[in-house]
Chain A
Amino acid sequence: MAIGKKVRRALVFLLVSINVVILGGCWDREEINDIAIVLGIGIDRVKNGNIRLTVEIAVPRVIGSGQMGGTGGDKEETIIRSGTGVTIADAIAQLQERLPRRLFWGHMKIVIFGEQAAKVGIREHLDFLIRHPQTRTRCNVFVGKGSAKSMLELIPPIEQSASEVLREMAESRTLMRKTAKETLQTLNSEAETVLLPMVKVLPPPKGKKEIETIPFIYSTAVFKKDRMIGQIDDYITRGVLWIRDEIKLAHVTARVPGERGNITSRMIRAHTDITPKHEKGRWKIIVNVTSEHDIILNGTKLDLLSERNIQRIETELEKDIKRRMRSALDQLQKDMKVDVFGFADAIHKKYPSRWRHLKKRWNDVFPDLPVELNITVKVRRPGMNFPPQGVPEQEVKE
């Protein structure tokens, strides 16, 4: 052997390490100052069927300079750029031409569809976003009243960007919230419908510039297949959330018969079970809701320490919740005829074999499907005081 053992080992090691570096490669190495961090995108439909993609890009120089005591002030913290194309991918290609830095999608938090784009169909756009390796499946999806671009262009007074505002709003869960992944999953389900939060521009206060305001979630867009077919208001939306077991934040106000004044309760937790039943050839859905509440306002003269009073209040709260759910059912089941409640999936899960037959005529069956609502409310705590406050003791009703 001409080559010594040690030399040979060193050579092998060298070859392996060179391969590791070359084959593994630095091909996706990107310095942080060479990327444009996309915070949110808006997808609009423009003339002749093209797609206009608007991105909101963070400008790190300005955002970071806050604590450095540097410049800041007038400069915007984000910039807006648009590109058009036949598909969203085309639009990105055009957009990239107009940017000095590579677009980076890892921090994209929101996707807004313009109303027009939503009415034509959102599936192919979402498919791109889910397929892309950098984007997050957890980004929140919205539908914008008007164009999506106009939402992203806003300069919010508190948050850094319009995207951040929308993300925070979705997280607070007052109304609908859907991530890209959930949206596609729901579209995938038996009912093929989805509800997406709808946003519009909050009118700016007097004296402020027109863009110095925020977008906010005000209602819900109803999708059949992947097309937007209508809109429901916030009251109806909460009714749907109750049925879908997605309600996280709710205040219920009720009046007790024979008493003056309102009682408001805050929901602590709620649980909904949807049980389909097949009796004598007829389908029926039973919705059981159990919900726990705290009393946060007592405008009546009822003493909340008394068991009898609490029971009366519970009954009234139950009625109010039922009313909400019923009106949601009326509008979505009877009028719009879309199964956003997940009844189809519930039947499929419980009666898989029968569902195969039912599936074909589901669109006919669904609008007339009887739905039974059973609601149980428990008032857990009456708040910091038992009797109504500011009422003379002798007037308090035990």
Chain B
Amino acid sequence: MRFFQRGKKGRPSQPAVTKPSGTQDALAVNMNDNLQKIQNIYRDCIDVIFRSFKIGGHTSAVLIYINGLANMEEMNENVLRPLMEKNSDSRQGASPTEQLNATSLLEQQLTVAKVNKVQTIGECVQYIAAGSPVLLIDGQSEGFALGLSEWEKRPIEEPIAESVIRGPREGFIESLETNLSLLRRRIRSPLLKTKSVTLGKYIKTQVVICYMEGITPEAFVTEAEKRLQRIELDGVLESGYIEELIEDHPYSPFPQVLNTERPDVAIANLLEGRIVIMQDGSPFVLVMPVSFYSLIQSSEDYYQRALISALIRWLRYLFLLISLLLPSAYIAILTFHQEMIPTTLLLTVAASRERIPFPALVEALIMEVVFEALREAGVRLPKQTGAAVSIVGALVIGQAAVQAGLVSAPMIMIVALTGIASFTIPRFTAGIALRMLRFPMMFLAGSLGLLGIMLGLLLILIHMASLRSLGVPYLNAHVPNMEHQAKDVLTRTPWWKLNARPRINERRRNNRQS
């Protein structure tokens, strides 16, 4: 498929990890054999509990579970109590072992909603690891995995990274099940499909691809699945791992995958025909394919009134350019094109630069690097210390540097404005891409002036036009040009005019309202 030409290349296979022996073995009829094997697998694991008991007082059985991952109360009430009670049926029967039928047990005595039958040792281990207690009964060649897993998790909170003034306050959490339920609760259509893939050699993280059947092109789903299945990592701790591994262009500064903590954003993207990749253990879900524009839009753009949102979008575009270009434009004008600014302004700037020992480029580099360091320090430090960092940054580095004559006052303003501008971009990943590109732009401006800035802009534009996200052009709406889509990028089209879904596939009719 040419469309997906630039997909990730396959990796050379690594030497196989030594697996615990006998995981592929089917469960034996003799329970003790099975138990021994599993105990061997889980040797030196004090948190794995083997609870032996007798069903109806005669058949021995064992319940295997991990402490803290299973709901004890329900195990007591719905598993152990009914099974251990000596009921009338077994007393009347001739031979208890023969009579104990797995199906009847399941149908009559286990009061648990979710029960899976397991056939092999490997399956047993998988369920145990996932938190489901496994029940093995002597004389049966299959066990029961009981869906009683339950562990401590964070409550649903407002997402911190993407706050809105108006809009839902729910955010995804670390539990995949909860996250899926957040989607399911809002999309009540059976067309919302969720496909599971397990990743990670050791930690076996569950990853789910969500899409809307009939809206999302099949090709996206198969391609994403293909890319996910190629991942061979020891562990996947954050969806960032996945993002990096399934991106079309891993070396590009621009992110080609959108990550969000907000269910409403995920749903909006599902409804526009994109796929959402969720990973257990991370509140950030991935959205693919995305265009550059969706990375610089906020979900709130669609919640506020269209006019206001359009204005805010323009403001954001302006500040996007400022965050990319302001320092380099300042350097270029000051070192090459002094005639471009009004005389009075030039004289003011000249006066403030009179005692500065560095050329404008060096001065700008120093200050921009310092600003980035301050920002990084502010992010990593605990909140209480963060205030101290801003004081140090503002007073010591800002004011003192100017008074000491190391940095000119206009440069401080430029750096501050650039910083503010980069924070107006709602997605951190997109903002940091532009912040990063600012530095090569500054070098170009320092060596070639405005010509260099133009050159840099062209290079960036060419690069962006060549990017693809899951095979879809990154500047979709403009490259290739699609008018109905471009109007939702340049302004914010009112909902009653936003009839068509974004064209990210080859479908002809694509109406979202009739």
Contact = CB atoms under 8 A, between A and B. Distances in A.
Contacts of A104: 338-339
A220 to B, nearest CB: 27
Contact of A31 (B346, B348, B359): B359
B351 interface: yes
A64 B455 contact: no
B343 A33 contact: no
State the 10 A-B residue pairs at the shortest beta-carbon distance, nearest first: A64-B351, A106-B339, A60-B350, A60-B351, A107-B343, A24-B448, A63-B347, A61-B354, A32-B350, A32-B334
A106 B356 CA distance: 22
B457 interface: no
Interface in B337-376: 338-339, 343, 346-354, 356, 359-360
**Which of the listed residues A21, A32, A33, A58 has the most CB atoms from chain B within 10 Å of its own CB?**
A32
A158 interface: no
Contacts, number: 79
27 contacts: A20-B448, A21-B447, A28-B336, A30-B335, A32-B346, A32-B349, A32-B350, A32-B353, A37-B346, A37-B347, A58-B347, A60-B347, A60-B353, A61-B351, A62-B351, A63-B348, A64-B347, A64-B350, A65-B351, A68-B351, A68-B352, A104-B338, A106-B339, A107-B338, A107-B343, A109-B343, A134-B339
A254 interface: no
A3 interface: no
Contact of B335 (A29, A107, A134): A29
Contacts of A33: 350, 353-354, 356
A39 interface: yes
Interface of A: 20-21, 24, 26, 28-33, 35, 37, 39, 58, 60-65, 68, 104, 106-107, 109, 134, 136
B343 A39 contact: yes
B451 interface: yes
B447 A35 contact: no
B354 A60 contact: yes
A107 B341 CA distance: 9
Nearest to A21: B447
A24 B353 CA distance: 26
Contact of A64 (B348, B447, B451): B348
B335 A21 contact: no
B343 to A, nearest CB: 5
A136 B338 CA distance: 13
B339 A136 contact: yes
A58 B346 CA distance: 10
Contacts of B334: 31-32
**Which of the listed residues A29, A39, A61 has the most CB atoms from chain B within 10 Å of its own CB?**
A29
A32 B360 contact: yes
Contacts of A30: 335-336, 338
Interface in B287-339: 334-336, 338-339
A31 B360 contact: yes
**Which of the listed residues B338, B351, B448 has the most CB atoms from chain A within 10 Å of its own CB?**
B351
B353 A26 contact: no
A30 B332 CA distance: 10
B352 A64 contact: yes
A33 B359 CA distance: 9
Interface of B: 334-336, 338-339, 343, 346-354, 356, 359-360, 446-449, 451-452, 455
A107 B353 CA distance: 18
A13 to B, nearest CB: 11
Contacts of B448: 20-21, 24, 26
A236 B455 CA distance: 55
A171 B338 CA distance: 23
A35 B354 contact: no
A28 B452 CA distance: 13
A39 B344 CA distance: 11
A7 B346 CA distance: 45
A356 B197 CA distance: 91
A63 B351 contact: yes
A30 B334 CA distance: 8
Contacts of A24: 447-448, 451-452
Contacts of A35: 338
A55 to B, nearest CB: 15
A20 B455 CA distance: 10
A63 to B, nearest CB: 5
Contacts of A107: 338-339, 343, 346
A60 B344 CA distance: 10
B372 to A, nearest CB: 24
A136 B339 CA distance: 9
**Which of the listed residues B350, B352, B448, B455 has the most CB atoms from chain A within 10 Å of its own CB?**
B350
Contacts of B350: 32-33, 37, 58, 60, 64
A63 B334 CA distance: 18
**Which of the listed residues A33, A68, A107, A136 has the most CB atoms from chain B within 10 Å of its own CB?**
A33
B112 to A, nearest CB: 57
A65 B409 CA distance: 12
B447 A26 contact: yes
B459 to A, nearest CB: 10
Contacts of A32: 334-335, 338, 346, 349-350, 353, 360
Nearest to A28: B336
A111 to B, nearest CB: 15
A109 B347 CA distance: 14
Given A21-B447, A60-B347, 14 more contacts: A24-B447, A24-B451, A28-B336, A29-B447, A31-B353, A31-B360, A37-B347, A61-B351, A63-B348, A64-B350, A64-B352, A65-B351, A68-B351, A106-B339
A136 B448 CA distance: 22
A104 B334 CA distance: 13
A382 to B, nearest CB: 40
B383 to A, nearest CB: 36
Contacts of B347: 37, 58, 60, 63-64
B355 to A, nearest CB: 8
A64 B339 contact: no
Contacts of B455: 20
Contacts of A31: 334-335, 353, 359-360
Contacts of B449: 28-29
Contacts of B354: 33, 60-61, 64
A24 B443 CA distance: 14
Nearest to B448: A24
A61 B447 CA distance: 27
A104 B347 CA distance: 12
A39 B349 CA distance: 16
Contacts of B336: 28-30
A313 B339 CA distance: 50
Nearest to A167: B343
Contacts of B339: 104, 106-107, 134, 136
